[in-house]
Structure 1
């Protein structure tokens, strides 16, 4: 509404039976659909005594001055909404230019208020936008949490203020003093919260505590919420007939309706919001006038901002094409916002086509058509327009995710729908809106670059729930519009220009049948996947060439032999991945040119979804999080990677005294460092094996895989191996990670024997750092410090569990000790993330990754 967002098994041949996935998502969806059905039922009973024609008359009787005031109030409300993000950014200590924040906030709320589910919520759009601006996912989560919490408090404050001023606003004839007392109590609670914020206190939230923002921020946010809800409530109030309810009292009613709409989880509170308002105003105004005002409110406060958001991103895209100013932050924001905004607009107009199929056309226009259009053409246009509306609804998902197949489908469907709108009822408004959508799609063509067919996309439970809500709403509208017409079976076969109820029945039946067939096909279609097999020699050679042509040495883990490879269509990049349980786990970001990454990431995500699996990207860099957000994944921090800046590394100075002293002691003790090239490694392979076996026996571990190197002779022969000899015997070694570029080097496998003197591994690390510094490399990668850098104050199960494991899990893994060892070399720490669907998926995915690295449950138990 306003500031608030609203059994599987995979067979060996790759066929999918994603029952468990659908059951879990389906139960939530059924609850939402049940709430929506109950709301529509209640709304129908409240409007039982009025007709559709009376609502239309009341709608047309709305004075122009009221519409003008409503539009102005809408502008004030959305201006206040931009302050939500501004205060939230200040709360997390980040700065983004206000014009860019305003653009993002406006588009996010225009989409979230109107559609309000899944990837089209305001929170999802914030995540897509803010991560490219350097914000970490935890900060975006805090922004969303701050906005949601303060919006809830603001709704409570507005309701309390309305009760204090007006007393009874419930319509239940309660004593006025009771309302005044409840309002005063609510305001006192909020005042107490403000006092606590002034004392820098924190509030308990379950097992955790949340730091309160500064009083100034809290006051600004409260003021913004007050202005937002007051302005949004004013939009509806000025459209309503005289009800005897003053503006303060009505805003309290509006705040309650908004809050219940958000809590219902029905997209945009559709039906729920209307039921609350209609019930609260029962007996105070004519029902048909209230319904007309509610419909006009939806258009002014929801549809108009979305249309403006579409025009805005279209203009920004035009400016980008015309002036080539892609470096402008506003233009970049417009490019990122275009797909979700146009996806929401497509969704809205698809619903318009379906709803227009179950509502009567203007009699004058029908009479005009009867004079020159054959009846079969009108009947076909009416039926096909509704069916195309459902197809356009499906295409909206692909547009949100930048699929070129969805773009082509929409560009082909919309002109046909424009012609059908003319043929079925001279529907000029439909034609105008569809023309606008077509223009915006053509302008933003460059944003839809993912080469995926519309027929092969996987409709997830939230989208199927939205489709179910569309059908329930269309059915409720049909029953309301034609409730005075007695149902007889002959209605289905009646074909006349004036027989609009039969046309509505046939259109709804066609849409329902198509939706049912489509949903069944999505659930039961076989997976279009080739059986997985280890990469052959040709694939390994292709992968090695790509690895050598890019700067990240960790990509050579693709050659370990335990992962499958998914190559880009042009062969320029690949994803290395393995499967465990339902998790399809890609190691790190894609390897290769970054322009090939977006379609490759999308292919991998859809490939996993097609068989009921979860796509997981493990150890990805923060700069690329927006790519995973665009694919519907959420990032969770895994830890931090240590990278030594070789240009500034020195052993001189007081900070390096301990390192320098240890280095000198190792030199004096007779340790010898050597870098053995790949061709020389076979000669020392048995000595390396002896050191490796002794190290594993001493630590009671077995070889790890996937994200860690293993002692595999063929793998060790790919790169040089650094060795430390003592008295002529190899006592320690480290295999290296390198590429054909002299930008970054790293260590892979590190082992040492009991004969190695103290500080041998530290000495080996220093020798490698100094060697690659002299060779002109820019960075030396020391690898990950798992669970490092997780905020102790962040709210969220992932953060809190990860922090607790880091602090108290030494008996299983020396998390703090590993970071302390790497910190000796003064590295820069860069966060690494796991991108995965939300809910319980992160925990389940991490369990699958642990099994994969450890070689199954027994490997994990044995370390």
Structure 2
């Protein structure tokens, strides 16, 4: 691939990008610091604890206790799904219960445990709920409602528990129990009073740009019950696992709520380390720390990992369903769940990547655990000792390999998938060599087999090291290694050390084995990191879009079926050409968004590598890829790229073979003066007459030309196209340039200008005339442009959509709203073809729309224009 550019970015924009980059990295860095602080505090709390004590306590947990924690977890997740149901009621939408159940459960199961963008709760909900008919604004409203309800519920329940039992945290605050109780009670009463008043009165609370509108009392009461069940059940799942000496349940709810809130605010996935530190630090002194640590470990397993495994199983079964067979017929009976199930395939790459990363962490931890079968192999038996040493080293290499491969898995690389399966199989063999660890060998084999149904999701060829490793990935690996190092020193702190620690080989040299394994893991990552940072960058330097580049793009457009691709000639875009020179993708840069306009153009076989290259080039520049006005043809590809599709409008395309110019709806657009079509090149007098109409048309707006998704009036640009004109008394009153490809078989209307006093009747006569001309000259279809979606819910950020939407259609001024524009174009008997905005799940839709709107308006101030 090679790049050409039509403009260069100056130093001021670079400085703005640097500030924006730091602003986006700040939450990640803060989360990393909090994670490190939590890990350090947790190690300090566990200092008097031996790892063997925790293992013994876990194994000694009674079955009734584990069953109680499991049942509480079921109740908690059922209450969490109710959040989704109430959120949908809040925005006035109704979905079938199978869709809400699947969307809610998977959103929490994946989001709570992993939290990475590709399988976060918001991304999962978007995939499922959008397939069931919700748009991106509505899914965002659902996610916002859930976050606000969960945060408010945790805070109020925690404060209420403190008001009843202030001693739970009073020892850690510089206030007495009476003061803590008074403050907590005042906050609870004032908050509940405000919420109740807003609900009953249905008024909106406003504070600067923040607005809060509460659901009606009936729904508010239902949400309150769901929140109480959720928090109480989750807290009980941990409380029942804690040993004797634990606080009473009402007091523990305050501890749990505080720990959860701090964990959420830390931005650490699952609050790992932070949550445990708060819980252990606030428990009574007579609770053994080792027993508390064992309870927290089991809570993580029951409340997080088991739901995650169930979610993984659901997606795996769906992959088997897609392959056909009896399971496919069974799933076919779940009619209400079909929209939700149809979207799960897109979750597979990110989900498998998370599972592989988790197995990598697990293998590294296993290699650090002291063996429990120290007498299984006779001391001084050389072959047996070498097998044990080799098994530990192989486990470590397999674990590190899975950490590295997880990034390739997230990008659907087929070789990464098969290498991950091989690494799990190799880990199983290594576990057998390492003291005949049958349990871990069985687990790893099951993991390898569980990945096989997902093989169809990894269809992208390529070298693993050609992808971009982001800061999030490095922080995740760094945090993992820090955790494993801390785990090593915790597990082996009672082992004596000496100079022989690196070279001692015998049946009980557990510490030496673990240190050598850690050394090898560090070495592998070091070699990989050195290679990554020293390998040459293969990007070709960006150059100006000179005449040769524009001519190459024009030749590709002429042979394509995409007449709107002639917008490549406006000079405000950059190009990404395929190596063959038969295809290209055009885009522009705004802020941290690389915005591609439309589909790639040219040879359809080169579209996928072009899109992958575009996404990776954007990531290497510290930006995110956005694709504007994408056709449905690219839906599977966008999902593979980790992009979500947001329907923003519909394009009116007329099939001229069946067009009826005498239809009653067109009667108002007939007139005596015919439409003329002027062929290029155009005379200076003609261009001057057209410019005068254009200047008057622009003066009725803000005097500024739009760009990016529409042409600009310039003599050079207008001379590329035929121009349809309408005259009154010999003077031009309206015109439009026409774009054609394949010798006129496909056409599109681009720049439309008319005198303001003429109104929509003149526009209708212009459209009818140019359509008649195109049909007579053998054009098969012609596009009248896109109409933005209308009728969004008032609770779905409709104001922002209206503001941006008026920038992305071409015919402003003659129509009251989007529905009026659609009604007008419907008179010409078009096929309505959906168009989408594709963007990464972690990027706000409003942020992307703003960047697109700025590109179209030309400047930030242009956003205020109409």
Normalised by the size of structure 2, how large is the TM-score? Answer: 0.81
Please, which of 839, 846, 862 is the counterpart of residue 835 of structure 1?
839
Offset, 1:627: 5.7
Q: Residues 169-227 of structure 1: CA distance to partner in whole angstroms, max 9, x if unpaired? A: 33739648964883585266335413421322223354232322233333333222222
Gaps of 5+ in 2: 1-7, 12-16, 333-337, 827-831
Offset, 1:473: 1.1
Counterpart of 2:122? 123
Say whether 1:269 aligns with 2:271: yes
Go from structure 1 to structure 2 and tell me whether the alpha carbon gap of 1:848 and 1:182 turns closer, same or farther (over 3 Å shift): closer
Go from structure 1 to structure 2 and tell me whether the alpha carbon gap of 1:393 and 1:530 turns closer, same or farther (over 3 Å shift): same
Distance in 2 (alpha carbons) for counterparts of 1:697 and 1:161:
66
Answer yes or no: is the 8 Å Cα contact 2:103–2:129 preserved in 1. no
Answer yes or no: is the 8 Å Cα contact 2:677–2:724 preserved in 1. yes
Offset, 1:542: 4.3
Offset, 1:569: 9.1
Counterpart of 1:154? 153
Answer yes or no: is the 8 Å Cα contact 2:645–2:836 preserved in 1. no
* Structure 1 residue matching 2:824: 3-state secondary structure: coil
Distance in 2 (alpha carbons) for counterparts of 1:648 and 1:226:
61
Offset, 1:67: 1.6
Answer yes or no: is the 8 Å Cα contact 2:590–2:854 preserved in 1. no
Counterpart of 1:292? 294
Counterpart of 2:457? 447
Q: Where do 1:187-202 residues align within 5 Å?
A: 189-190=191-192, 192-202=194-204
Say whether 1:505 aligns with 2:515: yes
Distance in 1 (alpha carbons) for counterparts of 2:206 and 2:433:
61
Answer yes or no: is the 8 Å Cα contact 1:131–1:625 preserved in 2. no
Counterpart of 2:65? 66
Distance in 1 (alpha carbons) for counterparts of 2:499 and 2:234:
45
Counterpart of 2:358? 348
Go from structure 1 to structure 2 and tell me whether the alpha carbon gap of 1:844 and 1:104 turns closer, same or farther (over 3 Å shift): closer
Q: Residues 703-731 of structure 1: CA distance to partner in whole angstroms, max 9, x if unpaired? A: 76542225688976876542324456766
Distance in 2 (alpha carbons) for counterparts of 1:802 and 1:672:
38
Go from structure 1 to structure 2 and tell me whether the alpha carbon gap of 1:381 and 1:838 turns closer, same or farther (over 3 Å shift): same
Say whether 1:617 aligns with 2:627: yes
Please, which of 198, 213, 216 is the counterpart of residue 214 of structure 1?
216
Go from structure 1 to structure 2 and tell me whether the alpha carbon gap of 1:200 and 1:346 turns closer, same or farther (over 3 Å shift): same
Q: Between Structure 1 and Structure 2, how many residues are aligned? A: 825
Please, which of 820, 826, 836 is the counterpart of residue 823 of structure 1?
820
Counterpart of 2:285? 283
Which segment is superposed worse, 406-415 or 186-195?
A: 186-195
Q: Residues 768-818 of structure 1: CA distance to partner in whole angstroms, max 9, x if unpaired? A: 4677799999997544678987876556xxx777767889x9xxx996666
Distance in 1 (alpha carbons) for counterparts of 2:862 and 2:148:
44
Q: Residues 671-716 of structure 1: CA distance to partner in whole angstroms, max 9, x if unpaired? A: 221346xxxx147555542333434555587876542225688976
Which segment is superposed worse, 108-117 or 359-368?
A: 359-368
Counterpart of 1:4? none
Answer yes or no: is the 8 Å Cα contact 1:405–1:452 preserved in 2. yes
Q: Residues 244-279 of structure 1: CA distance to partner in whole angstroms, max 9, x if unpaired? A: 422232233212211111111112111111111111
Which segment is superposed worse, 681-690 or 643-652?
A: 643-652
Answer yes or no: is the 8 Å Cα contact 1:788–1:806 preserved in 2. no
Counterpart of 2:829? none
Counterpart of 1:420? 430
Counterpart of 1:114? 113
Q: Where do 1:700-779 residues align within 5 Å?
A: 706-710=708-712, 721-726=723-728, 732-737=734-739, 746-751=748-753, 760-768=762-770
Please, which of 474, 485, 504 is the counterpart of residue 495 of structure 2?
485
Q: Residues 748-774 of structure 1: CA distance to partner in whole angstroms, max 9, x if unpaired? A: 123468999996445313434677799
Offset, 1:343: 2.5
Q: Where do 1:49-198 residues align within 5 Å?
A: 49-163=48-162, 166=165, 168-170=167-169, 172=171, 175=177, 179=181, 182=184, 186=188, 189-190=191-192, 192-198=194-200
Answer yes or no: is the 8 Å Cα contact 1:554–1:737 preserved in 2. yes
* Structure 1 residue matching 2:168: 3-state secondary structure: coil
Offset, 1:308: 1.9
Counterpart of 2:316? 314
Offset, 1:352: 0.6
Go from structure 1 to structure 2 and tell me whether the alpha carbon gap of 1:757 and 1:321 turns closer, same or farther (over 3 Å shift): closer
Distance in 1 (alpha carbons) for counterparts of 2:78 and 2:784:
48
Q: Residues 120-165 of structure 1: CA distance to partner in whole angstroms, max 9, x if unpaired? A: 3212222333333332222121111100010112212432453455
Offset, 1:306: 1.8
Cα RMSD, aligned residues only: 4.7
Offset, 1:472: 1.8
Counterpart of 1:459? 469
Offset, 1:470: 0.8
Distance in 1 (alpha carbons) for counterparts of 2:323 and 2:130:
24
Counterpart of 1:434? 444
Counterpart of 2:307? 305
Go from structure 1 to structure 2 and tell me whether the alpha carbon gap of 1:754 and 1:621 turns closer, same or farther (over 3 Å shift): closer
Answer yes or no: is the 8 Å Cα contact 2:563–2:748 preserved in 1. yes
Answer yes or no: is the 8 Å Cα contact 1:116–1:122 preserved in 2. yes
Distance in 2 (alpha carbons) for counterparts of 1:860 and 1:250:
51
Counterpart of 1:246? 248
Answer yes or no: is the 8 Å Cα contact 1:543–1:574 preserved in 2. no
Distance in 2 (alpha carbons) for counterparts of 1:806 and 1:859:
13
Answer yes or no: is the 8 Å Cα contact 1:787–1:815 preserved in 2. no
Go from structure 1 to structure 2 and tell me whether the alpha carbon gap of 1:517 and 1:475 turns closer, same or farther (over 3 Å shift): same
Normalised by the size of structure 1, how large is the TM-score? Answer: 0.82
Answer yes or no: is the 8 Å Cα contact 2:724–2:735 preserved in 1. yes
Say whether 1:411 aligns with 2:415: no
Which segment is superposed worse, 359-368 or 765-774?
A: 765-774
Distance in 1 (alpha carbons) for counterparts of 2:133 and 2:48:
56
* Structure 2 residue matching 1:430: 3-state secondary structure: helix
Answer yes or no: is the 8 Å Cα contact 1:33–1:465 preserved in 2. yes
* Structure 2 residue matching 1:577: 3-state secondary structure: strand
Counterpart of 1:689? 687
Distance in 1 (alpha carbons) for counterparts of 2:99 and 2:344:
9
Distance in 1 (alpha carbons) for counterparts of 2:391 and 2:536:
34
Go from structure 1 to structure 2 and tell me whether the alpha carbon gap of 1:570 and 1:463 turns closer, same or farther (over 3 Å shift): same
Go from structure 1 to structure 2 and tell me whether the alpha carbon gap of 1:176 and 1:57 turns closer, same or farther (over 3 Å shift): farther
Offset, 1:340: 3.1
Which segment is superposed worse, 48-57 or 568-577?
A: 568-577
Counterpart of 2:14? none
Go from structure 1 to structure 2 and tell me whether the alpha carbon gap of 1:47 and 1:307 turns closer, same or farther (over 3 Å shift): same
Counterpart of 2:564? 554
Offset, 1:744: 8.6
Q: Where do 1:11-30 residues align within 5 Å?
A: 27-30=26-29
Go from structure 1 to structure 2 and tell me whether the alpha carbon gap of 1:791 and 1:196 turns closer, same or farther (over 3 Å shift): same
Distance in 2 (alpha carbons) for counterparts of 1:205 and 1:594:
51
Q: Residues 645-684 of structure 1: CA distance to partner in whole angstroms, max 9, x if unpaired? A: 899999998xx7xx966x46xx35xx221346xxxx1475
Distance in 2 (alpha carbons) for counterparts of 1:249 and 1:741:
78
Distance in 1 (alpha carbons) for counterparts of 2:250 and 2:189:
15
Answer yes or no: is the 8 Å Cα contact 2:421–2:451 preserved in 1. yes
Say whether 1:398 aligns with 2:402: no
Counterpart of 2:205? 203
Go from structure 1 to structure 2 and tell me whether the alpha carbon gap of 1:521 and 1:747 turns closer, same or farther (over 3 Å shift): same
Which segment is superposed worse, 103-112 or 505-514?
A: 505-514
Counterpart of 1:386? 396
